[in-house]
Structure 1
Amino acid sequence: MNKETLRIVREYSIITVGIMLFVLGWGAFVIPSNISGGGVSGISILVYQVTGIPVSYTYLLANVALLAVGIRHVGKAYGLKIVYGVLLGSIMFWLVQQFITEPVVDERFMAAIIGGVISGIGAAMVLAQGGSLGGTDILATIIMKYRNASPGKLLLYMDMVIIGASFFVFRSPTAIVYASVVMVSMTYVVDSVLTGRNASVQLFIFSNNFEPIAKRIEKEVDRGLTILDGTGWYSQEKKKIIMVIVRKSEYSRVLSIAKHEDPDAFVSVANVVGVYGQGFDQIKN
């Protein structure tokens, strides 16, 4: 199995698990507790409450209408992931509604939080692999392609209108509150997972043994670095300083290399707001 095949298998495996978690959050906690939400899932729940049409049917039909938009703006590869996500999501919604008819948690507020968190984790996993669950996150993904925008906030803004509609179905102000709890929980988790995944740190490494450290970082972490000239004020000695920017997931590896090559190395670490260029995010208009 070549690298490209392994990459595709890995992507679709993560997307599959993400879809299952997303549907589980809605199907096991939100829907049985008569709580709505945003996106196509929220619309499907409202239709289910009014007409009795299963969530899976509305979910599938509504997403088919949005499928062409995703393919046109993001490409056929993305379109295939939408088709996969929508079909698997529809099947999973149907299965969950067959087997889970009573709330897993009696307290509606807890059901809203737990459902939102689990669904948020699933949605973030899918979005991180360039996939889609359909609905409003298709629009969010398209906007993310052209703008440096927060995916979670985009989803939240688009879902506010749908959440507001839940008042007219459930005829209760608390319906809006519970639906909002679901979406805020989900939004927070999506942003935390995706932002944390892309977050970077800048390290300055002060060491007399800088060459082995620099070579290992370049080889083992596969990151470019810069050697700066500096002077110690107290000693007035010339120093070489390594400056490197890495993902947070790579940060511990860099520290381990520095400690191994020079136990007395002085390392300064700082979070950076954004990093754009080769190996990181690309600048968007």
Structure 2
Amino acid sequence: MKGKKTKFYQLIGRYILLFIGAMIYSIGLEIFLIPNNVIDGGIVGISIITTHFTKLPLGVLTFILNVPFFIFGYKQIGKTFTISTLFSVFCYSIGVSLFTPISSITQDVLLASIFGGILIGFGVGLIIRNGGSTDGSEVIAIILDKKSSFSVGQIVMFFNFFILTSAGFVFGWDRAMYSLIAYFIAVKVIDIIVDGLDESKAVIIISEQYQDISEAIMNRLGRGLTLLDGKGAYKGVDTSVIYVIVSRLEISKVKNIVHGFDEDALITIGPVDVSGKKYKKKAIH
């Protein structure tokens, strides 16, 4: 019984966050981008351009254009994701309608593009982090991904680039360029919201100075690390390879430490999903 209540509250909390994300997204669109003829990508971008010619309500048009894609792709993306996404699309369609009468905060197109991109990225990132989506173009990408050599990200990027470029013919090429600025800002903010500022990175360091580098990383960053046995294929020399997990914000510090001992050291960095108490940072004395 207690477990069911916990799951129920978690579900309610998730939908509240989906709603908040949709409202933030709506504000970014209606109060910053759209009044300055700057558009977003995906189905929303198509809706903005269509609304410009037809004068149909953007919120209604966005919802109508999105729904068929999610129904069509139901089997491809699953029940939970479909319901969460439909809820998000419904909420931001309402939000767009609510915020339409409000005047733009700024007439400076660059400022509108920057802050609109930040708000859109924050809103969409919140939605994605809680299991939803905001655009039917992602469903198209998922389906095409299984029938082509391109990844979902590449298909979405191409789709959005085409839509944002189309804005040049409708609103002028300067607005198309501002739209690209807003889009790339939004993408970076989405990454931060979804992955977090404290996103973990796995770092592998190959250097003859591995002992000094290891001690410096442990002392300066308070991170535990592992020394792996390695052997150079060319020279056949035995060595130790440093493996350490750090946060995104500590990457530059690791590089500075390593290059302080060995400018020729080989450093490889990659994303990693971490669990376990051993990863937790130790206090530096």
Same fold (TM over 0.5): yes
Quick one: structure 1 residues 189 and 277, their matched pair in 2 at CA, closer, same or farther if it must change by over 3 Å?
A: closer
Check conservation: 1:30, 1:111, Cα contact below 8 A: yes
Unaligned runs of 5+ in 2: 205-212, 216-223, 230-242, 251-266, 277-285
Three-state SS of the structure 2 residue aligned to 1:77 is helix
Three-state SS of the structure 2 residue aligned to 1:32 is helix
Shift of 1:119: 0.4
- The within-5 A match list for 1:144-155 is 155=156
Check conservation: 1:70, 1:78, Cα contact below 8 A: no
Shift of 1:22: 0.8
Q: AA paired with 1:7? A: Q
1:179 is aligned to 2:179: yes
Check conservation: 1:200, 1:271, Cα contact below 8 A: no
Q: How many residues align?
A: 232
Check conservation: 1:156, 1:187, Cα contact below 8 A: no
Partner of 1:220: none
Three-state SS of the structure 2 residue aligned to 1:273 is strand
RMSD: 3.9
Shift of 1:182: 1.5
Q: AA paired with 1:16? A: F
1:28 is aligned to 2:25: no
Q: AA paired with 1:185? A: I
CA–CA distance in 2 between the matches of 1:245 and 1:140? 32
Quick one: structure 1 residues 205 and 77, their matched pair in 2 at CA, closer, same or farther if it must change by over 3 Å?
A: farther
Partner of 1:191: 191
Quick one: structure 1 residues 36 and 226, their matched pair in 2 at CA, closer, same or farther if it must change by over 3 Å?
A: closer
Partner of 1:71: 74
TM-score normalised according to structure 2 size: 0.66
Three-state SS of the structure 2 residue aligned to 1:103 is coil
Shift of 1:277: 8.5
1:237-262 per-position Cα deviation (integer Å, ceiling 9, x unaligned): xxxxxx8858779x9xxxxxxxxxxx
CA–CA distance in 1 between the matches of 2:143 and 2:22? 19
Partner of 2:235: none
Shift of 1:138: 3.8
Q: AA paired with 1:79? A: T
Q: 2:270 aligns with which of 270, 273, 276?
A: 273
Partner of 2:165: 164
Quick one: structure 1 residues 115 and 142, their matched pair in 2 at CA, closer, same or farther if it must change by over 3 Å?
A: farther
CA–CA distance in 2 between the matches of 1:47 and 1:201? 45
Three-state SS of the structure 1 residue aligned to 2:100 is helix
Shift of 1:10: 2.3
Shift of 1:32: 1.1
Quick one: structure 1 residues 140 and 123, their matched pair in 2 at CA, closer, same or farther if it must change by over 3 Å?
A: farther
Check conservation: 1:124, 1:190, Cα contact below 8 A: yes
Quick one: structure 1 residues 248 and 186, their matched pair in 2 at CA, closer, same or farther if it must change by over 3 Å?
A: closer
Check conservation: 2:200, 2:245, Cα contact below 8 A: no
Q: AA paired with 1:176? A: A
TM-score normalised according to structure 1 size: 0.66
1:189-211 per-position Cα deviation (integer Å, ceiling 9, x unaligned): 112333436534679999xxxxx
Partner of 1:258: none
1:77-110 per-position Cα deviation (integer Å, ceiling 9, x unaligned): 1111122112111111111113x1x321110111
Shift of 1:34: 1.8
Structure 1 vs Structure 2: percent identity of aligned residues?
25
Shift of 1:4: 1.5
CA–CA distance in 2 between the matches of 1:65 and 1:158? 18
Partner of 2:15: 12
